[in-house]
Amino acid sequence: MAKNIHTDQRFIVGLVNNDAVIINDIYKRCAHKIKSWITFNNGSEDDAADIFQEALMDIYRQGKYKSLELTCPFEPYLLLVCKRKWLNQIKKRSILPVTNSEEDLLHIGEDTFAQADELEDQARQSDLFYSAFEKLGARCQEIISWSMKGEAQEKVAEALGVTYGYLRKKKSECMASLIKMVQSIKTEE
């Protein structure tokens, strides 16, 4: 059965296109809710601002690179993503939440939970890939970073003081080591 895309998909499109009017609308609808929820749960207004921005960037990436299709309303989805992010943060900082999270989330539909789960999984995966990247040797990290930044290979070779042929070969090797590293971290987990 085809997915029923919610009309609120326009918010995802707005984020992907950096549409100031739509993004302003998101802030107008949701910023104060997150602000009061996080400050009520022992966070500061700066924490709320950071969490809100981080959640919107995650959703944007999901929309831009993974063609996120929203099947639930946007507002509860964003609020749930922010709340989970904050609950994770306070766990790390050993702060006790005030809100009983179960009770607080009673009125949210199953779809919203599923989509928030998906976003969380993606963010976790992305962290895992990054930790694999950090385990590579310094040279490989350098080569992968340069090439991902879209610099011309000739320029990168010159900057690293190697020949063009060596760089091409080394880049493939480094990427293969990265994938191997990801696979081994996944097996360890």
Partner 1 sequence: MANEDKLTNVARYVEGDMEAGELQAFEVLLREDSELQALLTEYKEIHQSLKMKIAPDARDKALENTLNELNGKYFRKEGKTMALNGYLKWISVAAVLVIGLLVWAPWSGGLYEKYATGREMSVAERGTGAEQKIEDAAALYNTGDFSGAAKILAPVYQSNPERAMVAYYYGISLIENNQEQEARKVLLKLYEGSSVFKYDALYNIGLSYVKEKNNKEALVWLAKIPADDNNYAQAKELIEKLK
Which residues in this chain contact partner 1 in the complex, by CB under 8 A? 15, 18, 20-21, 23-25, 27-28, 31-32, 35, 44-46, 48-49, 52-53, 56-57, 60-61, 64-65, 122, 125-126, 129-130, 133, 144-145, 147-150, 168-169, 171-173, 175-176, 178-180, 182
Q: From the CB of residue 82, how many other CB atoms can be counted at a distance below 10 Å? A: 23
Q: How many C-alpha atoms does 188 have within 13 Å on its Cβ side?
A: 8
Q: Which is nearer to partner 1, 32 or 91 (CB)?
A: 32
Q: Which is nearer to partner 1, 4 or 125 (CB)?
A: 125
Residue 18: which region, alpha, beta or left (left: phi > 0; alpha: psi -120 to 50)? left
Q: Which is nearer to partner 1, 75 or 111 (CB)?
A: 75
Of 65, 83, 77, give the one whose Cα is nearest residue 116.
77
Q: How many residues does the chain have?
A: 189
CB of 96 to partner 1, least distance (A): 21
CB of 42 to partner 1, least distance (A): 14
Q: Please give the full DSSP string across 138-171, using - where no structure is assigned.
A: HHHHHHHHHHHTT--HHHHHHHHT--HHHHHHHH
CB of 12 to partner 1, least distance (A): 12
